[in-house]
Structure 1
Amino acid sequence: MTALETVKNYYDCFNNKDWNGMLALVHKDIKHQPNQGEERIGIEKFRDFLKMMDECYEEILTDVTLFAEPTGTRVAAEFVVNGIYKKGDEDSPVAHGQKYVLPAGAFLEVNQGKITRVTTYYNLPLWIKLVSV
């Protein structure tokens, strides 16, 4: 499977809420670099992150566009996050089912069929504005 196919499967699993499928596609020493906060290293920390995301947000990604570079180890992703804010997490506005649509992107590294890094970017001030209603 190519890096592009691996990342496509990863985002398909995300949209299907197949957390075990996502975990099967990441390396045991996954490096997760979120838009805000500390880097997470390791599949257990990534599993905890997915659990928190599932509790706090109902999200589906649309307009997913993937780009691979010539060596076949890095993939860039551009997408739109269509979400519902279900439960507040630390230092965020109070959640009461607010809907949001937010452009975002990510950079991923793949080695031997496993995702070894996910770095995600989005406009946090815009997300705060969208859910502060």
Structure 2
Amino acid sequence: MTSRTDSLDLLSRYYAAFNAGDREAMLACLADDVAHDINQGERQTGKDAFRAFLGHMDRCYRERLDGIVLMASEDGARGAAEFVVHGEYLTTDEGLPPALGQRYMLPAGAFFDISDGRIARVSVYYNLADWTRQVEG
């Protein structure tokens, strides 16, 4: 069983790895069969799918998270994060406006299931219409 403190430590490591660009450290925080609910998209399952998603994101975007606030349930089984994404749109992502190096800033959140000291589910949410307005500017 994971405690609230352990879950907060896990999420802290996950986001520190994100901001450091250390994708392997991020992946180390995940369960092998992690469920990843992509904003405005479908669920992907497994570390390999998550690794491919990170590669795609790194090609299209450069992002840093600020103002990260972490929360966890008393039993450590659920977690949440709220943060602000500061990004640059590097390469056109399929179905989205053309990338011209536009910068954007938008609030986002994530919800987690935590099991056996690893993230078993991550669901990320942000306002795609807000992002689109910023990059079409």
TM-score range, shorter chain: over 0.9
Q: CA deviation at 1:85?
A: 0.3
Give the CA RMSD over aligned residues.
0.9
Pairs aligned (count): 133
TM-score, scaled relative to structure 2: 0.95
- Equivalence map 1:1-133=2 (5 Å): 2-133=6-137
- Taking the aligned partners of 1:28 and 1:72, their CA distance within structure 2 comes to 19
- Taking the aligned partners of 1:37 and 1:122, their CA distance within structure 2 comes to 12
Q: CA deviation at 1:37?
A: 1.3
- Taking the aligned partners of 2:120 and 2:72, their CA distance within structure 1 comes to 15
Runs of 4+ in 1 over 6 A off after TM superposition: none
> Percent sequence identity over matched residues?
46
Q: Which SS does the other structure have where 2:17 is aligned?
A: helix
- Taking the aligned partners of 2:122 and 2:12, their CA distance within structure 1 comes to 13
- Taking the aligned partners of 2:107 and 2:127, their CA distance within structure 1 comes to 8
The runs of 5 or more residues in structure 2 that have no matched partner are: none
